[in-house]
Structure 1
Amino acid sequence: MRKMIIAGNWKMNKTPKEALALIEELKPLVKNDEVDVVFCPPYVSLMLAVEAAKDSNIEIGAQNMYFEEGGAFTGEIAPNMLKELGVKYVILGHSERREYFGETNEIVNKKVLKAIEHDLTPIICCGETLEQREQGITVDLVRTQIKVALKDVSAEDAKDTVIAYEPIWAIGTGVTATSEQAEEVCAAIRQVIGEIYSGDVADAIRIQYGGSVNAGNAKELFAMENIDGGLVGGASLKADFGKVVNYK
Structure 2
Amino acid sequence: MKIIAANLKANHTPRSIITYCNDLQTRLGFEMIQDKLEIIVFPNQASLVDNNYSNFYIGAQNAYPVKNGAFTGEIGLEVLESLHIKHIMIGHSERRMYFGEDNTAILQKYNFFMQENMRIMFCIGEDSNVTNIKDFLARQLDRIDISYPLLTVAYEPVWSIGSGKIPDINDIAQVVDILRSFGVQKVLYGGSVNIANVKEICSITDGVLVGGASLNSGDFANIVCQIRQ
**1:115 corresponds to:** 113
Amino acid at match of 1:112: Y
**2:203 corresponds to:** 223
User: Do structure 1's residue 174 and structure 2's residue 152 form an aligned pair?
Assistant: no
State the Cα distance separating 1:144 from its structure 2 match: 1.4
**2:222 corresponds to:** 243
- SS of corresponding position for 2:120: strand
> TM-score normalised to the size of structure 1?
0.85
Q: 15, 18, 27: which is aligned to 2:16?
A: 18
**2:64 corresponds to:** 66
Quick one: distance in 1 between partners of 2:83 and 2:26? 23
- SS of corresponding position for 2:195: coil
**2:128 corresponds to:** 130
User: Do structure 1's residue 208 and structure 2's residue 227 form an aligned pair?
Assistant: no
Quick one: distance in 1 between partners of 2:173 and 2:84? 33
State the Cα distance separating 1:81 from its structure 2 match: 2.1
Amino acid at match of 1:22: Y
Quick one: distance in 2 between partners of 1:22 and 1:235? 14
User: Do structure 1's residue 43 and structure 2's residue 78 form an aligned pair?
Assistant: no
**2:138 corresponds to:** 143
State the Cα distance separating 1:72 from its structure 2 match: 2.1
User: Do structure 1's residue 165 and structure 2's residue 160 form an aligned pair?
Assistant: no
Task: Select between 165-174 and 113-122 the one with higher mean Cα deviation.
Answer: 113-122
Quick one: distance in 2 between partners of 1:79 and 1:131? 36
- SS of corresponding position for 2:9: coil
- SS of corresponding position for 2:38: strand
Q: Which runs of 5+ in 1 are unaligned?
A: 194-201
- SS of corresponding position for 1:36: strand
Quick one: distance in 2 between partners of 1:223 and 1:154? 23
> TM-score normalised to the size of structure 2?
0.91
Task: Select between 75-84 and 230-239 the one with higher mean Cα deviation.
Answer: 75-84
User: Do structure 1's residue 184 and structure 2's residue 164 form an aligned pair?
Assistant: no
- Any conservation in 1 of the 2:65–2:108 contact (CA below 8 Å)? yes
Which ranges of 4 or more aligned residues in structure 1 deviate by more than 4 Å?
none
State the Cα distance separating 1:96 from its structure 2 match: 0.1
Quick one: distance in 2 between partners of 1:190 and 1:147? 15
Task: Select between 36-45 and 78-87 the one with higher mean Cα deviation.
Answer: 78-87
Quick one: distance in 2 between partners of 1:24 and 1:154? 34
State the Cα distance separating 1:154 from its structure 2 match: 7.5
Task: Select between 234-243 and 100-109 the one with higher mean Cα deviation.
Answer: 234-243
Quick one: distance in 1 between partners of 2:202 and 2:92? 21
- Any conservation in 2 of the 1:210–1:230 contact (CA below 8 Å)? yes
Quick one: distance in 2 between partners of 1:57 and 1:26? 8
Quick one: distance in 2 between partners of 1:206 and 1:40? 18
Residues matched between the structures, number: 222
Q: Which runs of 5+ in 2 are unaligned?
A: none
Q: For residues 48-69 of structure 1, give each alpha carbon's deviation from its aligned partner in whole angstroms, at most 9, with x where no partner exists.
A: x524x2xx22111000111222
Identity %: 36
- Any conservation in 1 of the 2:117–2:150 contact (CA below 8 Å)? no
Quick one: distance in 2 between partners of 1:92 and 1:21? 26
Quick one: distance in 1 between partners of 2:108 and 2:42? 21
- SS of corresponding position for 2:75: coil
- Any conservation in 1 of the 2:5–2:210 contact (CA below 8 Å)? yes
